[in-house]
Amino acid sequence: MKRTPKDLEGAHRKLSRRALLLGGLQLGFAGGLAARMRYLQVDQADQFRLLAEENRINIRLLAPARGEVFDRNGKTLAHNSPSYRIIIVPEDADDVEAVIARLSKLIHLPAEDIERARTEMRRSPPFLPITLADQLTWEDISKVAVNAPALPGITPEVGLTRIYPQQSDFAHVVGYVGPVSDYDLSKLESPDPVLRIPRFQIGKVGFEAKREDVLRGTAGAKRVEVNATGRVMRELDRKEGQAGADMQLAVDAGLQNYAQARLGGESAAVVVVDCDTGDLRAIASAPSFDPNLFVRGISVADYSLLTEDPYRPLANKTVQGTYPPGSTFKMVVSLAALEEGLIGPEDTVWCPGYLEVSGRRFHCWKRAGHGHVDLNTSLKQSCDVYYYDLAIKVGIDKISAMANRMGLGVRHDLPMSAVASGLAPDRDWKARVRGQDWLVGDTVNVSIGQGFMLASPMQLAVMTARLATGRSVTPRLVKSIDGVEQPSGAGTSMGLNENNLRMVRRGMYSVSNDRRGTGYRSRIIAEGMRMGGKSGTSQVRNITAAERAAGVIRNKDLPWERRDHALYVCFAPFDKPKYAISVIVEHGGGGSTAAAPIARDVMLQALYDGTPPLSAYPKGDRSRIKAQQERLERERIERDTPQDSDRA
């Protein structure tokens, strides 16, 4: 069909509009491209010059501030303090040895620090900074700053280092930090890059190590311009890291300080558990050490003193040490028998001073025997024969099961180093581990907390708290994280017969408050604060038949390492238990003479939340206690008073 002039004119108009639209789009695209090219080539020329072949941008990590640690009342246990150090850039120093010599005339530079710096210089490019001296005073930094023109390549810097103001009192609880080592990195499958920051500190032992994940924080970063050789030209920007979480422990610093001081020069441990919450109010192990020495780098001489000390100051005896619990285990055997209905409170056993089992005599601690003994008397006077007889009736498997229910032979989940599980043995354990059958003599030994039976002071304190409350009290070390309260360790009912628990507690009351009780001399006489307790003495050597015939050698006549361990456990107030305590004095002799006085004194300090009145003690003890309180107070003041060297 032939198109009319009118149709052709319409088609021409449509084509013109399309051409115009297409041309406009092409022009706009070309204009945008030109503008972008101008922006990149002119406006951003300097930025891209930095990214040329001879330059690049590096991202460098910034160490985060470590979270701080406090006691339950907000007293600082671990914090970060400014740390002044001197660095040297060998390339800028020209003659490095001459600069070091001039610096040595201004401040003290230990020979080992200089040698270490030289080693680092040989391994590193000359433009990288090397630390020459650390942990300097402000006075030293001032001297260096004033003499800066004569010290090319030398720069004073400030960072953060860990400080433990409580010194030795919390060394075994909080632990300490130290620089990351190759060994630390080898233990990690995928190490956090922040760990490779020079001189970055991480937790080595104790709480610092176990909660490293929370305390460390998150690294920040900065962008720096470096040239082709790696030299920093300038800093472009930075983003600070996130500090670690602040942690509040359940421990009471005042009570911990007292407990540590009260242990004195003994090789000993004490644990205080809050029966209401499971909070660990004190966890003292003696002797101790100053963790600040490790942060700064302990000398070979100081470290040798610690490792060669027979009292083992580096070991945390509260959770790491396991010992035969001795007679403190007798409550567990009693409760196992009561729950099985095998004995009643009036049932008696005849104690002639020994029990013959399978042709062997198992002796009572009282050579002449106790005569007819019931449950209360067996605890009060700690008759061994009563428990030999009882354990044979109950059997080791039920005794072991009850021990587990009471927190023995169980590893408590605590953020502390080397927490031991102890041992509550049974038939399966001996067959599996020793490849031997269980013997009735093994049961007799376990009945008085000897033989294979092992427990830590922490476990014994938990056992005592559970006896006192009837609940599955669980020890709690962390009270809050960044202000967020952590779950309580109060526990729930263990389902034990309350009458049975009451009979065992009554026996513990007699131990401390009956004139014939083994703990009577270390009783509390303040109304409403009387305690129930149990002494224990665990042998560390075998007594031969010949020695028994000639007379058992007294502990004080034996070398220290062959003397018996002394133990004591207690709770108070008796009618409404608030605290449970366990004490062990290594090779201390008798539990009633060595451990019970410490337990009583720490208990009163906890109940009164400070120094108790002398009226809480028996009259015969008051003059001695007064002198002791005055001595401990003098020692506290001396410890808390800064020395001249500390002020500097």
What torsion do the CA atoms of 313, 318, 322, 326 make, to the nearest 10 degrees?
120
For 45-109, where are the E strands, in sequence order? 55-62, 69-70, 76-88
Q: Distance between the two ends of the chain, CA-based, in angstroms? A: 111
Q: Which residues contact 120 (CB under 8 A, 6 or more apart)?
A: 130, 131
Q: Which residue shows structure tokens 């309580």?
A: 488
Which of these, 536, 504, 509, lies nearest to 524 by C-alpha position? Answer: 509
State the Cα–Cα distance between residues 564 and 539, nearest whole angstrom: 5
Cα–Cα distance measured from residue 159 to residue 568, given in angstroms and rounded to the nearest whole number = 47
Is 472 known to be catalytic?
Answer: no
- Residue among 640, 641, 648 at smallest CA distance from 257: 640
- Could you say which of 83, 267, 288, 327 is catalytic? 327
HSE, CB side, 13 Å, CA atoms: give it for residue 180.
Answer: 19
Partnered with residue 81 across adjacent β-strands are 161
Question: Is 236 in contact with 472 (CB distance < 8 Å)?
Answer: no
In a 13 Å sphere around the CA of 262, the CA atoms on its Cβ side amount to 31
Instruction: Report yes or no: 85 and 143 within 8 Å, Cβ to Cβ.
Output: no
Can you tell me which residue has the tokens 């628990």? Answer: 501
User: Among residues 247, 226, 244, 227, which one has the least CA distance to residue 235?
Assistant: 226
Angle, CA of 118, 120 and 126, to the nearest 5°: 90
Q: Are 315 and 332 in contact (CB under 8 A)?
A: no
Which residues have C-beta within 8 Å of that of residue 115, sequence separation ≥ 6? none
Q: How far apart are CA 648 and CA 646, in angstroms?
A: 5
Instruction: Determine the Cα angle at 264 with ends 259 and 267, to 5°.
Output: 95
Paired tokens of 58: 């590096």
What whole-number distance in Å separates Cα of residue 648 and Cα of residue 645? Answer: 5
* Residue with tokens 């990149």, as numbered in its chain: 40
- Alpha helices, DSSP H only, in 430-556? 440-447, 457-469, 498-513, 545-550
H or E segment at 21? helix 5-38
Residue 629 one-letter amino acid: Q
Closest C-alpha among 504, 491, 501, 495 to residue 533: 504
H helices of 486-617, in order, are: 498-513, 545-550, 596-607
Between the alpha carbon of residue 288 and those of residues 67, 92, 119, 305, 417, the distances in Å are 24, 45, 34, 12, 15
Question: Which tokens hold the place of 626?
Answer: 């007064």
Q: Which two three-digit tokens encode residue 543?
A: 């007594």
What secondary structure letter does DSSP report for 211? T
Query: Annotated active-site positions, please?
Result: 327
